[in-house]
Chains A and B, each alone.
Chain A
Amino acid sequence: EDQVTQSPEALRLQEGESSSLNCSYTVSGLRGLFWYRQDPGKGPEFLFTLYSAGEEKEKERLKATLTKKESFLHITAPKPEDSATYLCAVQAGTDSWGKFQFGAGTQVVVTP
């Protein structure tokens, strides 16, 4: 059965303290892996798409990487405004092109 697991469930960081979030997946034929951030009471905001192992994408303090079994979202020198829930989603080869399977998310809190 396809699974997407995110860890840790919650992460509390001091401002400037870099860390990484993990998204591990077991799906048949990964088509794409997507990272989103979600603020309370809002819809997910798209961050990155990764398609193949070894691929990396970067935006401001965030960097996403992909291997054959997992993806990491690295947060470098975070600021309080990086506080959010970070979601990863996969698109599996056995599903329709429209179906994303989401992990439960990692809730990140960055304190000044």
Chain B
Amino acid sequence: NAGVMQNPRHLVRRRGQEARLRCSPMKGHSHVYWYRQLPEEGLKFMVYLQKENIIDESGMPKERFSAEFPKEGPSILRIQQVVRGDSAAYFCASSPGAGNEQFFGPGTRLTVL
């Protein structure tokens, strides 16, 4: 039973480019969450999605960041016009339902040059 999968594991972008991070939840899980971890900081909640719906985006920056979880395919976290401050590890988690424990993927480490 495969766990949460994220790709790419490492992503390098130049300032102004777009970054697309993908997350495939565990089998049977329909709830997906994205978190960001800056160096020497804790995990910060970004967004919570169910299939085709954004449930809570209270942690998402208002500009340049967007997320989706389509009916078919992985969840996507998209960062437009990246800046150096976007460099961080981005983790995706999934759960079978709301309020359950969340299972995390290995993360995508984004470096903005």
Contacts and interface: CB of A to CB of B under 8 A. Distances in A.
Interface of A: 31-32, 34, 36, 42-46, 49, 87, 89, 91, 95-105
Interface residues on B, range: 20 to 34
27 contacts: A36-B104, A43-B4, A43-B104, A43-B105, A44-B104, A45-B104, A46-B102, A49-B101, A91-B99, A95-B58, A96-B56, A97-B48, A98-B98, A99-B45, A99-B56, A100-B35, A100-B43, A100-B45, A100-B102, A102-B35, A102-B42, A102-B43, A102-B45, A103-B42, A104-B41, A104-B42, A105-B42
Interface of B: 4, 31, 33, 35, 41-45, 48, 55-56, 58-59, 91, 93, 95, 98-99, 101-107
Given A42-B106, A43-B105, A87 B56 contact: no
